[in-house]
């Protein structure tokens, strides 16, 4: 997963025409950090994720498309097998609404992603 992100990051940097040194300066890190990111040796911090998104003009999700798809697939599977829960009526109502919202959101992503693949 990290290796795929690293390759996507390297491709995005090259397409942008920026050197590793340019990216390091923009992220306020050492050039070796960019090299480690592009090899998949280390994950970026949240701040670096956000900066990379802005630098490469890509949405956060587009930088992590493969990871988002894996997470959506796993969440969708776990959603179908979530155990029943006893509790107060309002809690059950809220829980059911939340689970339904998650399911609908995952279906929406699946449809959107399937159409763009």
Query: How would residue 6 be classed by pLDDT, with cut points 50, 70 and 90?
Result: confident
Note the pLDDT of residue 83: 86
Q: What is the pLDDT of residues 87-108, one digit of tens each?
A: 677 778 888 888 889 889 888 8
CATH code, 44: 1.10.260.40
In eight-state DSSP terms, residue 28 is T
Q: Show the domain range for 29.
A: 2-63
Rounded to two decimals, the pTM is 0.62
Distances (CA, A) of 22 to 19, 108, 115: 5, 37, 35
57 and 77 belong to one structural domain: no
| pLDDT tens track for 36-79 | 999 999 989 989 988 988 998 888 777 777 777 888 899 999 99
24 pLDDT more than 60? yes
| Cα 84 from chain centre | 29
- 83 and 51, same structural domain? no
Per-residue pLDDT, 25 = 95
């Amino acid at each position: 997963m990290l290796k795929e992100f690293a390759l996507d990051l390297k491709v995005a940097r090259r397409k942008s025409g920026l050197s590793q040194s340019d990216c390091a300066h923009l992220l306020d890190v050492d050039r070796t950090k960019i090299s480690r990111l592009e090899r998949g040796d280390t994950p970026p911090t949240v701040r670096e994720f956000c900066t990379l998104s802005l630098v490469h003009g890509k949405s956060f999700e587009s930088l992590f498309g493969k990871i988002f798809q894996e997470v959506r697939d796993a969440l969708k599977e776990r959603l179908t097998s979530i155990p029943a829960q006893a509790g107060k009526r309002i809690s059950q109502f809220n829980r059911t609404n939340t689970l339904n919202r998650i399911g609908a959101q995952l279906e929406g992503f699946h449809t959107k992603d399937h159409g763009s693949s």
